[in-house]
Each structure stands twice: as C-alpha cells, then as structure tokens.
Amino acid sequence: MAKYILKRVLMAVITLFIVICLTFFLMNAIPGSPWLSEKTPPQATIDALNEKYGLDQPVIVQLGKYLANIVHGDFGTSIKMQKDRPVLDIITTMFPVSAAIGIIAILWAILVGVPLGCLAAYKRGTWVDSLLRVICTIGISMPGFVVATILLYLLAGGIDGFKIFPTIFDGSLKSYVLPCLALGFYPMCYLSRQTRTAMLDSINQEYIKTARAKGLKNKKIIFKHALRNALIPVITYLGPQVAFTLCGGFVVETVFSIPGLGRYFVQSIQNRDYPIIMGTTIFLAAFIIIMNLVVDLLYKLVDPRINLSKGGN
Amino acid sequence: MEEKQKSGKLLEVKDLHVSFFTPAGEVKAVGGISYDLNYDEVMGIVGESGSGKSVEAYSIIGLLQSPGKVVGGSITLEGEDVLAKSKEEMIDLRGNKVAMIFQNPMTCLNPVYTIGNQLIEALKAHDKKVSKEEAAKRAMEMLELVGINNVEKRMKQYPHELSGGMRQRVMIAMGLICHPQLLIADEPTTALDVTIQAQILELMKDLQKKTHMGIIFITHNLGVVAEICDKVSVMYAGKMVEQGPVDDIFYKPGHPYTMGLLRSMPRVDAESYERLIPIEGTPVDMLNPPEGCPFAPRCEYAMKICLQKMPPYVELGENHRAACWLRVQEQMAKEKSGQADAKAGSQTENKEAGDHE
C-alpha cells in the first residue's frame, strides 16, 4: 500500500511537470501582453516592465526560472490584477469561498442524484423513470448560465413579490442557496443518470437473484447488494468532478458576483496575468490528481477484488 | 441438524401454466404440468435448454420476473397455496421453507461482501432475534457441514478468494442455513468440472439424508439424475412428457424423447466404436408451438395423430406415466386383448358354472 502511494506521488510529480510546461508555452503563445489596456503605455514603459518581471527573456529561460522558484515554494506575484500580491496568498483567500459553495453543491448533488438514480432504476419503464430522464437530460444539456438565470428569475425577483434570495453573493447564508443550486444541478443530473445505468446493470446480476432467493427485503436488495456494486462508475465520475466544483464554476461565480477562484482564473487569462494563470492551473491540476488518487483508494474500499499493488486492476 | 422426519406430501403442483407476455406474443413456457414431491424425496427435472424447467421452479419460489406470469394451475406446499400468498409472505417463504441454489456459483455470490456477511444475512432475514455471535456460530457450523475447513478464515474471505466448487458449497450452506423443507437446485453442477461435480453431488446426497428435505433437482445431465434422484420428470417444450421412478425412466423409457435423451448420453459400457445418437431437429419455437405433441416434428415414430392432438398420459407402471400416442395405442391393444381374454375367461367360467349346474 505504501509502495503504491509512493508510486502514485512520483507519477503525480511528473504529471504536474508536464502540465506546467504545457501551460507555460501555451500561455506565452497567446497574443497580447499584460500591459495592454485601453490606454496603452509608451513603449519605454512596456520595456521597463518586461525587464522588471523578466518577460524580455526567452520563454525557455523564463520557464526554467519559474520551475526553480516553484521548487522553493515561490509561486511569484501577480503582475497585473492585484499588483505584487503573492499568488499563493490570492489562492488561499479565494479558494475557500469557491470551496464552501462547491462542497454544498456537490453534497446535494450526491444526496439527491444517487437516490434518484436508484429510484429510476428500480422503477424502470414507469412514468417516474421517464420524468427523471427528462429532468436529467435537461440538466445535462442546459448550459450553466441558463440554469443560473432561470433560478434568478424564479426565486430572486423575476416574478413580482417573489424575491426569496438575494441576486448577489454577499456571504450571508441566504445568498449561498442559489449559487449552490445552480452549481450542483449539472452534477446531480449526471450522477443520477450514471447511477441509474450502473444500478440496472447491477440489478441484472446473478447475485441479486441469490439475494431474492434468500428472502431479503427489496430495500436491502437495492441498497445493500445492488448499490454497492453500482458505486464504481459513480465514484469514477465524482473524483474529478469534486475538484472542478470545489475550484468554482466560472459561470456561476460570474452570474452571482462571487469572489471565487473559478472566476479569477478566467479573468487572469483575459488579463495575461501570467503568474496567476500558472498558480491556479497548478492548483487545479494538483487537486484533480489528488482526487484521482482518492478515487483509486476508494475503489479498494468498495470492491475487495480490486488489487492496488497490481497496477490498480 | 437432525430433524424429526416428516412424511407424506411436501409439494403438489397441479396443471401449472406459466406464460411470458413478450411484445412478440404470449410464450407458453410451461403448459400444464403436474407432479407431487414427498418429504425426503429427490425429484429430477430433465429437459433441454428452454424446455421450461427453470421457469417452473422459479414459480414455486416466486422468483418469476416480469413478463413471466403463472396463468393457471396450483402449487401447494405443506398444504398451503403458494400462489395465493402475498408478496411479503413470499419473501418470508423464500430462503426459509424453500431455498434455491443456482447454476453458476462464480456469479451468484455478491463479490463485495464476505462469505460470513452473506451467510449471516440469510439467517437474519428469517430469524430477527438471533444474536450476531449466535448467527456467526451457526454460519460456521453450516460451512463445516458442507465440508469447508478453516471456517473462521473463510468467513472473512470474499467470494473471489474461493474456488468454484468451494463457492457452490457456500451457496448450499446459505440455502440450508434456515433448514428449508424444500431445496430447489437449478443445475447446481453444470458450471463445475467433473470431479467437483461428483463432490457436490455426493455432498447433496449426504445432506439430503441428514435433513430429510425434499429436493427438486433441475438438470440436463441424465448421469446426474441417475446419481441422486428418486424419480424423474422429463420436460419438453413446457410439457411433462414422461414421469416415473428413476429406474423405470432409465430401463423402461416410455416416451421417444426420453429414449432419445438416453441414446445421446455417453455410456461407460458402450463399445468404443459406438457413436452417440443425437436427437434430430431443433427445439420447438415456443412462440408458435405445434398443435398436438410438441415432440412430434422430431419424433421418428410420429404418426398422423401426433401432429393433431396432445396425447393423454398413459400409466406404464407404478407412478410411471408418459404422454405418447404410441403408448396409448399399445394400451388400447392390450385392453382389447385383455377384454378378449376377460371375455374368454368369463365364458369359460360360465361354462364351468354351467357344468356345475
């Protein structure tokens, strides 16, 4: 087990290295520079700024310096959006905002999506199944901003005298509701569909026949015998999804004006704030790698047949 | 484990009809079969794939899946009408009075729970009051009874850590843990290799002697039947074509299908150059079953009437009957000559009586 985790950590470092290099080159390949704005400063100022932040050197040299700094835990400072504020500081203040909303969103998605999937599988072919299918297909295919807008319209003043929740996120308990609903709707629908498929597969297995022949109650057959076997694909999907959701959805954070990481990430690309682009990318990549490791360890917990030391199969 | 031996009728199936309502039409999977099973008796149900033998067994234990439905007849278990029971009563019956073991032990145990967990669960489903320790103790006793050693370790193992034969033993232990009166074994040895087959059969025979339960043994292997069964029902296309004590079926088969089955079975005492004789033709299309005897299209003795009318059962011996027009003819011929004999006899009697006068 320890050997397995060590191997995974080593692989994670290599993956991160590749991600860093790719992002660095791609980022520099985008036309434009951090200093462009409505009022373009004189060329002399630009040259001075470039020299100050080392942007006048070849990309490969910049990358080398950046990597050397990272090894020492230095992720640089913002060069445009919040000038000279350390990137690490920005991430550690913005991530908790996104994560709080993300955790609630993913929790309600799991708590509602998985049981709904079970229900749809158990009642397959009935109107319950059809209704759930319609809702989930809508949820999967509808873009986030549409969901957010509909929620805003319905519950935050679109209908006269029916303004239950604030339109702008201000940190109050009430203002959490709509962003969480909007952010969790897609994973909820997706999870529900995935659970249904996995459950149907599981219900048709022979051990379910055995469980029935033993005289077990339906509830026990569904939740003990079928669900646990259906969990693997669900967990597979959940791992990266948790990372994405916790790092914040750009659309939802923009619609509700949430000062979260997701929105900041996209803004940093628009502004060519190179250190922030790098910092947030590395953060998200590391998070996803960790979640994948957690998922693989969870597999072992759910299914005893999975042998991690033999390549995880 | 030793129980008071009950005697008499355990199970009575009368004119059972089971149909599957598919989009293509009604499939009469079981078309009116009847039999009795006594306590302490092993009955084999033999037939090829799709002959309805499993479906018939599933309807006893209430495991028929939609679109399958019992459409007629009755099933009486220990004097109780099984078909009239509610869903809850059926759940209570399963695993308790009637247990079932299946064909493929590799897929019949839930891979994510330990053997112990699954055994204890089977016991707890019907005995709510039993304590955890007591349940574990009984589970281990059952494992020992089915010939598994090192039981404490086995209880903590997962199905994938056991061999196929071992898993089938676990399945049997799980079936028997509530001391059922009736065990339905749906091809329990088919998926095992021959040496393990023999062991499992030996075990089942042994357990049957200890518990005196009734067993319905579904198989398509006549060798297995000869090994374990007291009597045999031969099924073809949802109909019971012959039924009788195991010796009668083997030595005096009354139905051409049974004869065909026997001929297609390899024999140890056969001459080396002797070839097995397969039954020609293919099984019946159950969506459009032929009128008359379902075996007639493949039967080498088929007559005109076979294609038109289903033959009635003809008694061929004690508890031995077959549904075949050949036997009907024979019987009619016998009756005729019998009547003639009787006539002649009565005439001579009369004569003698007359002589006395």
ipTM score of complex: 0.82
Query: In terms of domains, do A23 and A139 share one?
Result: no
Query: In terms of domains, do A197 and A273 share one?
Result: yes
- Residue A312 pLDDT > 60, yes or no? no
What's the CA gap between B135 and B118, in Å, rounded?
Answer: 11
Option in A213, A220, A304 nearest B95 (CB): A213
Number of structural domains, chain A? 2
Mean pLDDT of A34-43: 78
Asked if the Cβ–Cβ distance from B110 to A214 is below 8 Å, we say no
Query: In terms of domains, do A98 and A52 share one?
Result: no
Residue of A nearest to B156 (CA): A304
Mean pLDDT of A220-247: 89
Range of the domain at A101: 93-203+229-308
Query: In terms of domains, do A274 and A133 share one?
Result: yes
A13: in domain: yes
The bridge status of strand B25-38 relative to strand B9-22 is antiparallel
A116: in domain: yes
Residue B35: enclosing H or E segment and its boundaries? strand B25-38
Shortest CA gap A230–chain B (Å):
11
The pairs formed by B150-153 with CB atoms below 8 angstroms and a separation of 24 or more are none
Query: In terms of domains, do A44 and A103 share one?
Result: no
A107: in domain: yes
Query: In terms of domains, do A56 and A143 share one?
Result: no
Mean pLDDT of A256-271: 88
Choice between B241 and B355, residue whose per-residue pLDDT is larger: B241
Asked if the Cβ–Cβ distance from A213 to B110 is below 8 Å, we say no
How big, in percent rounded to 5, are the helix, strand and coil portions of chain A?
75, 0, 25
Q: Where residue A157 sits, what CATH number does that domain have?
A: 1.10.3720.10
Residue of A nearest to B94 (CA): A215
Asked if the Cβ–Cβ distance from A215 to B63 is below 8 Å, we say no
Option in A212, A216, A303 nearest B111 (CB): A303
- Contact call for residues B101 and B175 (beta carbons, < 8 A): yes
Shortest CA gap A302–chain B (Å):
7
Query: In terms of domains, do A189 and A41 share one?
Result: no
- Residue A39 pLDDT > 80, yes or no? no
pLDDT value, residue B8: 80
Query: In terms of domains, do A297 and A162 share one?
Result: yes
A301: in domain: yes
Q: What is the pLDDT of residues A1-21, one digit of tens each?
A: 788 889 989 999 999 999 999
A84: in domain: no
Chain-centroid distance of CA A297 in Å reads 19
Query: In terms of domains, do A255 and A197 share one?
Result: yes
Mean pLDDT of B234-261: 91
pLDDT value, residue A196: 94
Q: For the residues of A5-32, what is the DSSP string, one character each?
A: HHHHHHHHHHHHHHHHHHHHHHHHHSSS
Shortest CA gap A202–chain B (Å):
10
Q: What is the pLDDT of residues B114-168, one digit of tens each?
A: 999 999 999 999 988 889 999 999 999 999 989 899 999 999 999 999 998 899 9
Domain boundary assignment for chain B = 6-97+180-284, 111-176, 296-356
Last residue of a domain, one of A14, A40, A71: A71
A271: in domain: yes
Q: What is the pLDDT of residues B312-331, one digit of tens each?
A: 999 998 889 999 999 998 88
Mutate to test the interface with B, among A210, A219, A301 (most CBs of B within 10 A): A210
Q: What is the CATH number of domain B6-97+180-284?
A: 3.40.50.300
List the beta bridge partners of residue B12: B36, B76
Shortest CA gap B110–chain A (Å):
5
- Residue B56 pLDDT > 70, yes or no? yes
Q: What is the pLDDT of residues A133-182, one digit of tens each?
A: 999 999 999 888 888 888 888 888 777 777 778 888 887 888 888 899 99
Asked if the Cβ–Cβ distance from B112 to A304 is below 8 Å, we say yes
Q: What is the pLDDT of residues A165-174, one digit of tens each?
A: 888 888 788 8
How far CA B62 is from CA of A209, B66, B70, in Å, comes to 11, 11, 10
Query: In terms of domains, do A54 and A101 share one?
Result: no
Q: What is the pLDDT of residues B71-115, one digit of tens each?
A: 989 999 988 899 999 989 999 999 899 999 998 888 999 999 999
What's the CA gap between B230 and B207, in Å, rounded?
Answer: 15
Question: Ramachandran region of residue B30, left (φ > 0), alpha (ψ -120 to 50) or beta?
Answer: beta
Terminal Cα distance for chain B, rounded: 70
Size of interface A-B (CB pairs under 8 A): 70
Q: What is the C-alpha R_g of chain A?
A: 24
Torsion angle of C-alpha atoms A246, A251, A256, A258, degrees rounded to 10: 40
Q: Which residues of B touch A (CB under 8 A)?
A: 61, 63, 91-96, 99-100, 102, 104, 107-113, 121-122, 125-126, 158, 160, 171, 174-175
Mean pLDDT is lowest, of A260-264, B42-46, B104-108, B284-288, for B284-288
Last residue of a domain, one of A11, A36, A71: A71
Mean pLDDT of B305-309: 88
Report which residue type is found at B150.
N
Query: In terms of domains, do A134 and A179 share one?
Result: yes
Q: What is the C-alpha R_g of chain B?
A: 24
